[in-house]
Amino acid sequence: MNLMLFGAPGAGKGTQAKFLIEKYDIPQISTGDILRAAIADKTEMGMEAKKFMDEGQLVPDSTIIGIIKDRLAQEDCKKGFILDGFPRTLPQAEALNALMNDMGISLDKVISLNVPDELIVERITGRRTSKVTGKIYHMKFNPPTDEKEEDLIQRADDTEETVTKRLAAYHEQTAPLIDFYTNMGVIVELDGTKDVSEVTTDMFAAIEK
């Protein structure tokens, strides 16, 4: 089962990925994680990426694709995988497609979690982390009962200004990929505003259709 999770930041991709991993016993491939692993393992592509990062530059698509190629070739991906957070642009999607064609694999489903911007802003800006326990709360959906208010902090990238910028970048660069994957006939659009368990049920039903 070769899957891709798609959606704006805060749409619930990380939550749903856990259920997919449990059910299908396939790895989640997040570009941030595999980039860090490739650098830690000192792979050829990892070292190339590190060179760009050390110079304060963005890692080019060709290097990221090289790292994804190495990861997809590993034994635990033989049964399938869950791509999360990549591709983010049309050129990346086209490069990924070319890579998969070369490797003789294809995407079974692209699961798009649709959540309106105002709800995403509410979800992300309401998050707080306890300095004492490290637990993560939401001031509306999961408020703390036994934490002191002064111990709760908001991460810098959870502020409204940052979230709004990330959403603008998503709509400009990433949202056009919905058409790309629709044309390929692999996209499944789900209502990400539903309760977590309902989204999971809808997702499994769509995958196994």
What residues are labeled active site?
13, 88, 127, 155, 166
Q: Is the peptide bond before 87 cis (omega within 30 degrees of 0)?
A: yes
Distance in angstroms (rounded) separating the CA atoms of residues 109 and 188:
7
Q: What angle do CA 117, 109, 209 make, to 5 degrees?
A: 110
Which residues are CB-neighbours of 117 under 8 A, at least 6 positions away? 8, 167
SS3 118: helix
SS3 label, residue 42: coil
Q: Which of 7, 3, 36 is nearest to 21 (CA)?
A: 3
Nearest to 49, CA basis, from 37, 64, 31, 71: 64
Asked whether 137 and 143 are in contact (CB, 8 A), the reply is yes
